[in-house]
Amino acid sequence: MARPMTIAEKILAAHAGLDEVEPGQLIECDLDLVLSNDVTTPIAVREFKKIGVDKVFDPEKIVLVPDHYTPNKDINSAEQAKIVRDFAREQGITHYYEVGCMGVEHALLPELGVVGAGDLVIGADSHTCTYGALGAFSTGVGSTDAGVGYATGRAWFKVPESMLFRVHGKLAPGVTGKDLILHIIGMIGVDGALYRAMEFTGDAIHALSMDQRMSISNMAIEAGGKAGIIEVDDVTRAYLDGRAERPYTEYHSDPDASYYAVYDIDAADVVPTVAFPHLPSNTRPVAEARDVQIDQAVIGSCTNGRMEDMRQAAAVLKGRKVNPRVRCIVIPATQHVYRQCVDEGLMDIFLDANCAVSTPTCGPCLGGYMGVLAKGERAVSTTNRNFIGRMGSPDSEVYLASPAVAAASAVLGHIGLPDDLD
Amino acid sequence: MQFKGTVHRYGRDVDTDVIIPARYLTTSDPAELAKHCLVDLDPTFVDKVKPGDIIVAEENFGCGSSREHAPIAIKAAGIDCVIAKSFARIFYRNSINIGLPIMECPEAVDAIKDGDTVSVDADAGTIVDETTGQTFTAHPFPPFIREIIEAGGLINRTKAKFAEKAQA
Ligand code: SF4
């Protein structure tokens, strides 16, 4: 009998060809996917070429998504995107997504069924942890890891300790997965899960839709986490069946698996939450943030750019106008979400409300383009980071919140709740 | 590996967005990245840093993005070694993979002051504050990680593995 293990330990053991692993152990694993984007691929390709092999290990297991600066913002970013495109063509990469098909990578891969439960995925992007919502072990790495991954299909790991977050009860109406993960990060801090795998369970989690779960797993990295895993249940199966490209494997933690820490959270304690500058852990209830005037609202990103996020924002914006002192930028995370916004009439709501709606891109989330902040400006954003200078000037401020709160704030001109609107 | 240099000291949660802001991420050229290293945290850094200098910081150094541009910028700016109370996970592995020596040593971080001269013996794990004469011992790297560092980084190690396979 192998030792009792957590989901994270089981997935790592399976991919290392071992019956069991334990925290702290250094292992080398076979990977199901290696992901990189237009910022990280150029360095990964440069490193890959140094290894001295001609071909990637498997052109079907490498995923290249130009999303950060595409459609290209300037000549330099066009050169970088071209490196990605040329490499994809030269290597016959099957999972390459050109402008017009692409989306923000962590929204795109689950939507297309590229990643599934039980997968071991590395991505040269820190929010690769998003796929934990599907029951995968996926984690962000750097470009050198990705370059070596292209060549070998393998990576080294230190088996992390796991932390269990049990969320009991039911989130109140208007409280989303985003509020819950902000609440947790506020509770444990930006390094509260450093080097560790976070695992989320409890009836409040199982009651959430896949879109909401992805917002939670997405932000595991904001607590320093290596992964943010939610065990497979009926919601996961319904999401994956008919969508996953490959057969998937369910893993469940053993009842007697050991955790570094176990947190019991009462869902009733979670309220609409906003993270103040300049750390995602600097959280306060939205109700205590009403005096924060804003210049811009951004609704989108790999955290909150999915269909349900768009619907939540639209429900607030319907029949209303964005405050004339505010720019409200809406970015559906993928081409599919964009199309569905058109089909469901959400696009009319956004346009009627005077929102600027963009084709999928990371753009403003990392201060790239499409809504960069000037000195002294404040934004409320559904993204995941509010570090100094994250969305523009080092003298600007970013407040992180859910789509409904961002939309309500856009109308109010200050941070607030949908209930504050008349 | 031995280093000796002047210390630039910073606080906790130094994130990759301040190490190298996204507005400079449209290039991956180390020299270009080095010009903007830490600009949003300490605009004077690039002017005062000298080759061989050492960064000392509190907890969670390098948190945030996976951008390898961050350790690349630090290394290209001339920094030989980063000593912190703890490192963010991705920054830690990126540094090892590209061969930027990093050391975790809370006691040293508490004692060392900005501008001190510090010498480091990375193999022995010793850190000496030459200005005060105090000596500290850092957590040593596990053998697997030492293997990557000794190979000169993950790329060289992988290259050697492929060469071995070709010979076998
Ligand atoms: S949307 Fe933001 S956090 Fe997500 S992948 Fe893009 S830049 Fe990174």
Neighbours of A46 (CB within 10 A): 15
- The verdict on the CB of residue A304 being under 6 Å from ligand 1 is no
Reported as a single tens digit per residue, the pLDDT across A273-325 is 999 999 999 999 999 999 999 999 999 999 999 999 999 999 999 999 999 99
Q: What is the distance in angstroms between the CA of the first residue and the CA of the last residue of chain A?
A: 62
CB contact under 8 A, B97 and A279: no
Reported as a single tens digit per residue, the pLDDT across A63-88 is 999 999 999 999 999 999 999 999 99
Going by C-alpha positions, the residue among A306, A335, A320 that lies closest to residue A407 is: A320
Q: Which amino acid makes up residue A220? A: A
CB contact under 8 A, B13 and A40: no
A351 φ/ψ angles, rounded to the nearest 5 degrees: -70, -40
Reported as a single tens digit per residue, the pLDDT across B107-160 is 999 999 999 999 999 888 899 999 999 999 997 778 888 888 888 899 999 999
CB contact under 8 A, B17 and A387: yes
Query: Mean pLDDT of all residues in chain B?
Result: 93
**Whole-prediction pTM:** 0.95
CB contact under 8 A, B21 and A53: no
CB contact under 8 A, A366 and B65: yes
Indicate which residue's Cα is closest to atom 6 of ligand 1. Answer: A362
A138 φ/ψ angles, rounded to the nearest 5 degrees: -135, 140
Q: Which DSSP letter does residue B142 get?
A: P
Query: How far does B131 lie from chain A, in Å, by closest CA?
Result: 31
The reply to whether A337 touches chain B by the CB within 8 Å rule is no
| DSSP secondary structure of B11-32 | -S--BHHHHS-GGGTT---HHH
Which of A91-105, A195-209, B23-37 shows the lowest mean pLDDT across its residues? B23-37
Helix ranges, A153-198 (H): 177-188
Q: Give mean pLDDT, residues A205-223.
A: 98
pLDDT tops 80 at residue A238: yes
Domains of chain A by residue range: 7-265, 273-415
Query: How far does A141 lie from chain B, in Å, by closest CA?
Result: 6
Residue A33 CA to residue A58 CA, distance in Å, equals 9
Same fold: A7-265 with A273-415: yes
Residue A241 CA to residue A203 CA, distance in Å, equals 22
**To probe the interface with B, which of A68, A157, A194 has the most B CB atoms within 10 Å?**
A194
Residue A133 CA to residue A121 CA, distance in Å, equals 13
| Burial class for B112, CB neighbours closer than 10 Å (0-12, 13-18, 19+) | buried
Residue A282 CA to residue A191 CA, distance in Å, equals 13
Residue A422 CA to residue A403 CA, distance in Å, equals 18
What spacing in Å lies between the alpha carbon of B151 and ligand 1's midpoint? Answer: 33
Identify whether the C-beta of residue B152 lies closer than 8 Å to the C-beta of residue B146: no
Going by C-alpha positions, the residue among B130, B131, B70 that lies closest to residue B102 is: B70
Residue A393 CA to residue A375 CA, distance in Å, equals 5
Residue B13 CA to residue B10 CA, distance in Å, equals 9
Neighbours of A64 (CB within 10 A): 26
Residue A137 CA to residue B105 CA, distance in Å, equals 30
Q: Which DSSP letter does residue A262 get?
A: E
| DSSP secondary structure of A270-307 | ---EEEPTT-TT-EEEGGG-TT-B-SEEEEEHHHH-SH
Identify whether the C-beta of residue A330 lies closer than 8 Å to the C-beta of residue A297: no
Residue A224 exposure: Cα atoms within 13 Å on the Cβ side: 28
Neighbours of B1 (CB within 10 A): 13
Residue A295 exposure: Cα atoms within 13 Å on the Cβ side: 13
Identify whether the C-beta of residue A182 lies closer than 8 Å to the C-beta of residue A275: yes
Q: What is the distance in angstroms between the CA of the first residue and the CA of the last residue of chain B?
A: 32
Residue A67 CA to residue A105 CA, distance in Å, equals 7
Confidence tier at A1 by pLDDT (50, 70, 90): low
Query: Mean pLDDT of all residues in chain A?
Result: 97
The DSSP element (H or E) to which A62 belongs, if any, is strand A62-65
**To probe the interface with A, which of B66, B164, B165 has the most A CB atoms within 10 Å?**
B66
CB contact under 8 A, B69 and A76: no
Q: pLDDT at position B160, please?
A: 92
The DSSP element (H or E) to which A395 belongs, if any, is none
The reply to whether B25 touches chain A by the CB within 8 Å rule is yes
**To which residue do tokens 């692993």 refer?**
A21
**To which residue do tokens 């595991």 refer?**
A220
B114 φ/ψ angles, rounded to the nearest 5 degrees: -55, 135
Q: For the domain made up of A273-415, give the CATH fold.
A: Aconitase; domain 3 (3.30.499)
Neighbours of A422 (CB within 10 A): 4
- The verdict on the CB of residue A130 being under 6 Å from ligand 1 is no
Residue A382 exposure: Cα atoms within 13 Å on the Cβ side: 36
Going by C-alpha positions, the residue among A156, A157, A231, A227 that lies closest to residue A194 is: A227
- Taking domain A7-265, whether its CATH number is 3.40.50.620 is answered by no
Q: How far is CA A239 from CA A132, A360, B94, B138, in A?
A: 14, 22, 34, 47
Helix ranges, A128-278 (H): 143-152, 177-188, 203-206, 210-218, 234-240
Percent of chain A residues past pLDDT 90, beyond the cut? 99
Largest CA distance in chain B: 53
Total count of residues recorded for chain A: 422
Burial track A16-35 (b if 16+ CB lie within 10 A, e otherwise): beeeebebebebebebbbbb
The reply to whether B160 touches chain A by the CB within 8 Å rule is no
Q: Which amino acid makes up residue A261? A: A
Percent of chain A residues past pLDDT 70, beyond the cut? 100
pLDDT tops 90 at residue A382: yes
Q: Out of A42, A53, A221, whose CB is closest to B28?
A: A42
Residue B27 CA to residue B47 CA, distance in Å, equals 21
Q: pLDDT at position A319, please?
A: 98
Q: How far is CA B148 from CA A371, B157, B158, in A?
A: 41, 6, 9
- Dihedral sign for Cα A362, A367, A368, A370, please: positive
The reply to whether B44 touches chain A by the CB within 8 Å rule is no
Percent of chain B residues past pLDDT 70, beyond the cut? 100
Residue A192 CA to residue A195 CA, distance in Å, equals 9
**To which residue do tokens 């951004």 refer?**
A298
Tell me the two tokens of residue A291.
Answer: 């005096």
